Structure 1
Amino acid sequence: MKALIFAAGKGTRLKPFTDSHPKALVEVNGVPLLERNIKYLKSFGINDFVINVHHFGNQIVDFLKINDNFGANISISEEKEELLETGGGLLFAQKYLENEENFLIMNADILTDLALDEFISDHLNNKNFVTLAVSDRKSSRKLLFNEAQILRGWLNVDSGEQKLAEFNKAFKPMAFSGIHCVNSSIFNKIKRRGKFSIMEEYLDLMKTEIIKGLFHQANLIDVGKPESVKQAEKLFI
């Protein structure tokens, strides 16, 4: 399976490092996030990658070149004009992914020991449209799932705002882990264009497609701020 790694973000919460570097090159115990995640994905047999870049994208290209792409096949989806967010970034990378029946997406700033083989098998065996890795962890925004672990809504924990596919029948709130398996038919179903979040599309598509949450208890750190780097260094040697 081919993997798309989102590495284009500006990482404003990681300033001053991101004033002159891309977030994907933040180091945890001396190893850049991007390197860690390429090696993590390779450990599950994934060797074909698309990496989207924007903020100091040339540094990522140079980093990969110096390291001979870590022995992987890597295509760069360069968002030169503007940062397109996750949905726009996925559409922009379509030419690299549309011939795949299914593909994996992962945020470059996520570190996890999730059993990816089980996650991918669940997606393929159940022929899901999208499978989202989710866990019961603290987050200001939660996805809402029914008893069959099918996406039925979204909740802003702070404001109470909800987006629902149907009346909330004691749906289970879970935090998205930044890892998803996607069927390539999504390219024919996305309505938005330009700069947008893929989660906005998922919340529309949940009304007509099977978007499943795979609940997990794996270690997972969103390395988005300095204190989370320190937390990650305790878990990922």
Structure 2
Amino acid sequence: MIVPSHAMILAAGRGERMRPLTDTTPKPLLKVAGKALIEYHIEALVRAGVSHLVVNHAHLGEQLVDFLGDGGRWGVSIVFSAEPDGALETGGGIYRALPLLGGGPFWVVNGDVWTDYPFASVSMSADTLAHLVMVNNPPHHPQGDFLLDHARLRSNGVGARLTFSGIGLYRPELFAACPDGAFPLAPLLRQAMAGGKVSGEHYAGRWLDIGTPQRLQDLDKALRGRDAAGV
């Protein structure tokens, strides 16, 4: 079993679909139930044993740096990976941050999702390059992303697909042949899947892609209702 001590939260996106909210505030700092989205991830990762956290940033990145500081108030060490205007896409952002991620398997979490996924130890064989958390297809993405077959993920084939949650555990070796610069993560994952090197799990708990102001408002209402009920 692997218990990662390092994690990365992806926070460099522009958040175009969330405008005008993201014109003045980075998407991970938007609040639900009185707490910034990114704080939910930090707290969950710390509970799972993460002690070193990397946060990448581009758009309004100074606000993230000012808000998060060194991470001391959450009991975690936070360092930042600055990216140029326009950011580096997911793959490029992770590759740029590799020197900060400890050399072993590390979690990566999209900063614009909310979930109650319990980050914990994961069984991951030595030849597995990535382990992805998959969720039921949301209404805005009914076609899904990948096939989960006996705990392995495939990008091709016949069968019901699940949606990638934006939560994954990665080995640095997945990025070994990558160049510095902007590039997407999906082609790397598909290539590794073709070699049988990507495992997965289906998480049926709560997960939401905060892609629009309406979804943010709906989540805020749901969490405030839960807190009021003492759940």
TM-score (norm 2): 0.86
Distance 2:188 2:16 in 1: 25
Answer yes or no: is 1:218 the counterpart of 2:221: no
Q: Give how far 1:121 is off.
A: 1.9
Q: Is the 8 A contact 1:145 1:213 kept in 2?
A: no
Question: Where does the alignment leave 5 or more consecutive residues of structure 1 unmatched?
Answer: 154-163
1:159-198 CA distance string (max 9 Å, x none) = xxxxx3xxx2x333001111000112113144x5522211
Amino acid corresponding to residue 175 of structure 1 in structure 2 = T
Q: How many residue pairs get matched?
A: 218
Cα distance in structure 1, aligned partners of 2:185 and 2:71: 31
| Aligned structure 1 segments of 4 or more residues deviating by more than 6 angstroms | none
Q: Give 3-state SS (helix, strand or coil) of 1:116's partner.
A: coil
- State the partner residue of 1:116: 119
Indicate yes or no: 2:118 matched with 1:130: no
Is the 1:33–1:108 Cα contact (8 Å) retained in structure 2?
yes
Give runs of aligned pairs for residues 1-237 of structure 1, distance below 5 A.
1=4, 2-65=6-69, 68=72, 70-97=74-101, 99-117=102-120, 120-122=121-123, 124=124, 128-138=128-138, 139-145=141-147, 147-153=149-155, 164=156, 168=157, 170-190=158-178, 193-237=180-224
Percent identity, aligned pairs only? 28
C-alpha distance in 1 between matches for 2:68 and 2:172: 26
Q: Unaligned 5+ residue runs, structure 2?
A: 225-231
Separation (CA, whole Å) in 1 of partners of 2:70 and 2:145? 39
In structure 1, what is the Cα distance between the partners aligned to 2:78 and 2:118? 23
Report the aligned-residue RMSD: 2.1
Distance in structure 1 (CA, Å) of the matches to 2:148 and 2:126: 17
Return the alpha-carbon distance in structure 2 between the equivalents of residues 141 and 195 of structure 1.
Answer: 26
Normalising to structure 1: TM-score of the pair?
Answer: 0.84
- Alignment match, 2:227: none
Matched residue of 1:151: which SS? strand
Aligned AA (1:142): G
Residues 126 and 173 of structure 1: CA distance in aligned 2, closer, same or farther (over 3 Å): farther
SS where residue 142 of structure 1 aligns? Answer: coil
Q: Which residue does the alignment assign to 1:160?
A: none
Q: Distance in 2 between matches of 1:72 and 1:78?
A: 19
Contact in 1 for aligned 2:59/2:85 (Cα 8 Å):
no
